[in-house]
Structure formats: C-alpha cells, structure tokens
Structure 1
Amino acid sequence: MLRLHYNLEKVSMGLVAAIMVAASIGGIVEIAPLFTIDETVTLPDDLRPHTPLELAGREIYVREGCYACHSQMVRSLADELDRYGPYSLAAESAYDHPMLWGSKRTGPDLARLGEKYSDAWHVAHLRDPRAVVPASIMPAYPWLGRPLDTRLLEAQLATLARLGVPYDDAMIANAEADALAQSRPASDGAAAVVARYGERIAMRAFDGDAERLTEMDAVVAYLQSLGTLTNAPYQIIGGGEQ
C-alpha cells in the first residue's frame, strides 16, 4: 500500500485524480442526505418564522460577523445539555437562510439565549461588553444605536417566502409597519403583529426607547428570539413528541 502511494506521488496527474476522487466521495457523503431532508425532518406544528424586526436583527448579526465567534448548535453531550439546555434540532433551523449552527466557540453558544437575560443586559453588553463581563474579549458595537433601515424588509420576506418560509402576502406587505409596531406595543399596529406571528413573540422597546427604532432594537429582538421559535426541543427532552 505504501509503495502504491509512493508511486502515485511520482505521477502528478494521477495524484490529482486520486485527490478528486477522494474529495468527490466525501462531498457525496455530506451532500446526498440533503436530498431527502424533506422526508427526514418533520417541522413542529408550533414553529414560527422570524418577525420582520427579528429578521432585521439577524441580518445585522450576520453583517457584524457574530456567527464567527458564536455557534447556534447545542450538541447532544451531557455537559452541553447542562450548560445550554436541550440539544438543537434540524427542524428549528428550517426557516433559516443561511443556518448558523457552526462549530466555532470563541464565545458561548447562543441557541438557547432567548429571554435568558434582560433587554437592558443585552444593550449594555453590546455597547460595552467589559462593563458587563470584565473578562470578555468581545468587541463593542456602539454604532447599533443608529436608526434601523427597514426599506428592504418587504423584499427580504418575499425572497424567503420563495424559499419556503411561510410568509404570506399580508406579512410581506406589512413588513416595515410590523417591525416598527413590535417595538411599540402600545401602537395601533401591535395587535396586527400578534395576529400574524402569534402571542409568543416579544413586544417591547428592546433598546429602552420607544420613540426610535434602532439597529439595537433589531439585534436584541433577534437574540431574545433564539430558542423560542418552537417548544419542540423541550418536549423531546421532557419525553413528549415533536
């Protein structure tokens, strides 16, 4: 076997061909299961898509590279279950494009972060991480206090709807208004947001200022939604069915 490998190394084109074969086999093993994902992953009945405000926060989260240091995938290991909660299900990320599971953990996993800390904690942490966690190496994001640009939300929801996310025509048409109303629970449009996305969504001024809709509102709304889009993981851990 070693002699065969040695001889192959002396033939450059043969070595290239062998590498291509090995890479192809690995790629097929990883990609083939995706063709049957619709048959193997059952969507929970209570799974909801992100609201426009949460979706805007997710886009900022990706823009700022947060996914490079934080995974959103709790593995089925005892120490992870003890620290983060129920292990992640593929169905939880069915509406995520792209999904942000990952494996890099410079910072903690965020899959079950929703409602674990207060909005005020998140705002302070994003503005100055070391003021909250002295040993933190996370960069500060003070510019998130600027106004949120909602002009592309309607187009974003329409695009995701074409990819299978269950945004209906009313959700798409009211994307900008719903983003604003979610941060103003006393506004006229708040009831419509709840009617479209369900009573489990958080309705409040996430950055503490109901007079302005900011990128901070969006990011905190997104962080508070993580792990709350379905109760399926908790039902499975507790012995229930998905």
Structure 2
Amino acid sequence: MLGKHAKLERTAIGFAIAIMVVASIGGFIEIAPLFTIDETVEDAPDMRVYTPLELAGRNIYVREGCYACHSQMIRTLQDEVERYGPYSLAVESKYDHPMLWGSKRTGPDLARIGGKYSDKWHVDHLMDPRAVSPLSVMPAYRWLARNELVIDDLPLHLRALRKVGVPYTDEMIENADQDAYGQANPNSDAVDAFFARYGNDSNSRFFDGDQRRLTEMDALVAYLQILGRLTDAADQGLREQPVTAEGTNL
C-alpha cells in the first residue's frame, strides 16, 4: 500500500487527480445537506431580527473575541439541557453572520443567557468578573463603559446583512443610528419610532445604567440580553421527544 502511495506521489498528474477526487468527495458531503435545508431547518414565524443596538453589541462581542471562550450552542446531551436550557435549534441562528455556535467553553455557554441576569449584573461582571463570580478567569472589559458607541455606520451594517438574507427594510436601514440611540434611551424622542419598527417586544432602557451617553457597554449588554430570545421556537412544541443521556431522542 505504501509503495502504491509513493508511486502516486511521483506522478504529478495522477496525484493531482487523486487530490481532486478526495476533495470532491468531501465537498459533496458538505454541500449535499444544503439541498434539504428547507426540510431540516425549523420554521419560526415569530423570529425577529437584531436591532441596530443589539447588532452593534454583537460586533463588539466578536471584536473582543468573546466567542473564543463562550460557545452559543447547547447540545442535545441531557446534562447540557439541564444546565443551559433547551438545546439550540438551527433557526435560532438564522440571522447570525457569522454563526457563533462553537464548542470551546472556557466560560459557560451563552446561547440562552438573555434575561437570566439583570443588566446591572452584566455590567458588574464585565467591569470586574470576580466581583460576581469569584472563580472566574475572565478578563475585565472596563473600557466598554468609557467608549462611546459609534452608530454612524450602523446603516451600512444593516444594508450588508440584507444582502445575505436578513430582512431589514429600507426604513430600518435609514434610521439605524437613531433606533440604536432610542433603544438605549427610553426618554428620547426616538424611542416611539424604534418600537414602531422593531415591535413592542423589543427592549428600551439604560442598559449600562448611565443616562448621559451611549456606550459600547450599552450595546454589549443589549446583545447579551437578547441571546436565546429572538424566537420562542424552542418552547413551541418543536421538541416533543425526550432527550436521553446519550443525546438521542427516544
């Protein structure tokens, strides 16, 4: 067998053909499931898009490398479901670009962290992780409370996401910066227009507790508080079969 392999390596054309054949097999295995995507991805009529402020927070989350220590993918294993909540559905990441599922967990999975803790808890945790979790190895992110959030480019972000299928309207794109401001400032004149575009189920409050300015802390906390709450698909009877300890349905 080794002799045949050595002979193949000495034949440039043959070796190139062998590489193409193997790559084609791998490519087919990866691409084939996409032809059944409509059958494998759950339907979620109530799925909503990220607001501009939440999207800005997601960008900060990616920028700071939070995904390197926190996954957003609860697997079907019973111990994970009991610890983190219902296992992740594909539809819940429908508007995520890039997707942040992952499997690396230096810290806990954050797929359903939204609403689990108060805004103040998140702010305290980001300012000094060990103040609320003594055994945490997470670094502090104090500069987020000092950095003013850049919102002028948010319309460009929404426009780019619409090109890959996220259903932002022209009105949402044109008013993205004002909607970000309105969501983080419930006393502003922009809040009513924000709710009109994104629905009354959206949140508007001083996420970082500071009413004077809009910060990166506002955006990141807003994003963390929506994780797992863009749709109720996980609680709408899509998991009727119990999960076993091995992670398979009975």
Q: Normalising to structure 2: TM-score of the pair?
A: 0.88
Structure 2: which 5+ runs fail to align?
A: 242-250
Q: Secondary structure at the match of 2:236?
A: helix
Give 2:227's aligned residue. 226
Q: Distance in 1 between matches of 2:238 and 2:136?
A: 32
- Contact 1:74/1:80 (8 A) holds in 2: yes
Q: Secondary structure at the match of 1:225?
A: coil
Q: How does 1:12-31 map to 2 (within 5 A)?
A: 12-13=9-10, 18=18, 20-31=20-31
Moved more, 17-26 or 45-54: 17-26
Give 2:5's aligned residue. 8
Give 1:91's aligned residue. 91
Give 2:54's aligned residue. 54
Q: Which has the higher helix share?
A: 1
Q: How does 1:100-115 map to 2 (within 5 A)?
A: 100-115=100-115
Moved more, 75-84 or 8-17: 8-17
- Contact 1:71/1:105 (8 A) holds in 2: yes
- Contact 2:42/2:89 (8 A) holds in 1: no
With over 3 angstroms needed to count, the CA separation of the structure-2 counterparts of 1:13 and 1:205, relative to structure 1, is farther
Shift of the alpha carbon at 1:6? 4.6
Shift of the alpha carbon at 1:18? 4.3
Give 1:204's aligned residue. 205
Q: Secondary structure at the match of 1:236?
A: coil
Q: Output one character per residue of 1:179-234: Cα deviation in whole Å (capped at 9) or x when no partner.
A: 01101112222122112112222211000012210000000000000000000011
Q: Normalising to structure 1: TM-score of the pair?
A: 0.91
- Contact 1:86/1:237 (8 A) holds in 2: no
Moved more, 164-173 or 221-230: 164-173
Q: Secondary structure at the match of 2:62?
A: helix
Moved more, 223-232 or 22-31: 22-31
- Contact 2:184/2:204 (8 A) holds in 1: yes
Please provide the CA RMSD for this pair.
Answer: 2.0
- Contact 2:119/2:208 (8 A) holds in 1: yes
Structure 1: which 5+ runs fail to align?
A: none
With over 3 angstroms needed to count, the CA separation of the structure-2 counterparts of 1:93 and 1:144, relative to structure 1, is same
Give aligned-pair identity as a percent: 62
**One-letter code aligned to 2:179:** D
Q: Distance in 2 between matches of 1:187 and 1:13?
A: 72
Give 2:248's aligned residue. none
With over 3 angstroms needed to count, the CA separation of the structure-2 counterparts of 1:72 and 1:10, relative to structure 1, is same
- Aligned residue pairs, count: 237
Shift of the alpha carbon at 1:64? 0.6
Q: Distance in 1 between matches of 2:172 and 2:207?
A: 21
**One-letter code aligned to 2:159:** A
**One-letter code aligned to 1:7:** K
- Contact 1:70/1:109 (8 A) holds in 2: yes
Q: Distance in 2 between matches of 1:5 and 1:77?
A: 41
